[in-house]
Structure 1
Amino acid sequence: MEALQFYERIELNDRSQAVKKKLDKKMFYDYGDVNKKEKNVITKFVERMELTYLLTPSTINIQAFINEEYHYEGVMFVTVQLRDDVTDKRVRLLEEVIHGALPNPIVITFAFKDQICVSSCMKRLNRVNKNNVVLETIHRTNWFSESNSISVVDNFMQSMLLSNLSFTTFFDFYKDIDLAVKAYQDSEIIGAYKVLRDDKERQQQETIISQINDIEQEINTLKAAIKKESQFNKKVELNMKVQQLKKELDNIKRNAK
């Protein structure tokens, strides 16, 4: 799936005119507080960055949301075309730089060959310096393409349809996008796509995700110990612990769906 296909499927081109304005890498070097390592990744792996869509109250029927903590006057859809296969670590570096450099809420669509992944991040004003923003948790989907017909992708695309997003304010609009991206990210852990708008439900799911991560880490530690263990009886004992943890993991994931 190319980025433009993605924007078309979520109804962006039905609601707004594409801008397709190239974003100069130098802008991120100068204003993004970029270190040498980050600059090298941008230079080496980014083919092109562009502001593909810019939604404001003058281009779409959504009101700005401004208070002491949040300043949401519009939403930017930024496309990042990559020139080479990029590791998850480098994509994480790129999204941190881009989200941090631009004060507006941004939907980043990373594109490589026929695949894309989508990144979002709620941000709030810095209480000390109102010209700077503080990034909350960055969320990102897996890479997917037009040919992916798995339920997670289908559910995500449905959640991202502009007609399914809140048009009350840009804060609510972008929050819905961020929750949709987070649901995709969490689905890789819990095995189900669920957009949770209730704070209590989200906290409960975070607790479950933390439990899953802890158990998976414990399983990996035990597997590493099994490889190093020379005594047969010890290996059997460690294997039994692994199997018990796997059953516990399956039960937690089953109940989380």
Structure 2
Amino acid sequence: MISPTNRATRCCPVCERPVTGGVVLDQNCLDEITTCLTQIPDLLTELEVNATRQAKGGPRGYGSRSAETPLPYGLAASNLVTQITANLVRAATAVAPYTWRPPLRYIPPPTTVDTATRWLLTHKDQIRHHPRGEKLYDLITTARARALTVIDRPADLFPAGQCGAELDDGTTCPEILYGDPDRATVRCRCGAQHDMDRTWMLEAARDQAWTAAEIGRAIPDLTAAMVRGYANRRRLTACGSRIIGPGRAIPIYRVGDLLDILNASLLAG
């Protein structure tokens, strides 16, 4: 005979842990939702910053690309911001109906990421008991995962070193170039054209500071995770940070320091 307690026991549709008392989602899954909702506003701010920067053409010296042509990375970030906002607003609207509440004050539905995440955080208990809790979990956790995926993807163009061409006045062109890895050459605004040779590019960029993602994309057989690993093991020291949103910054590293580490490893091997 099944006891009333056992009859009331079900499994969370996300993690399959047992839940009771009308609860749909396990506490661990609710904690994951809370973490996502806390992080998403900052992540979307970072996406918006990146989308705006890329849509304006990125740093000077992007070569043959027009500054008026939005880059694929910027478009992806911008589209994702719109999509995530719509999904979070949909999730917030599903949690509780928006209606007249005593004392006859109308609470409008959320229309922004900030209002949607605040509403969802305030009504976490309703999320946990919601019959479509699994769907809400997917909407919220997928939003953070997709934002992180796009943010961690480096821009389509990356630093290609200093031009260094001799100008008509006898000086050297100081322009920092950004090249498309799918093209054989990169052209400077001064008119000089350079082969997209990674050896030349990296040696010319020794004194530049890049993020782990940029370095991982530029140096063959090196990943962003490996760069962060060198930093965690204190073989590599950040030389500064790059602001990517309100209260958010990521470390940047001198390219030459990475090249020295790699060269030393080759000699030791």
After TM superposition, the score normalised by the length of structure 2 is: 0.24
Structure number with the higher strand fraction is 1
* Bigger Rg, structure 1 or 2: 2
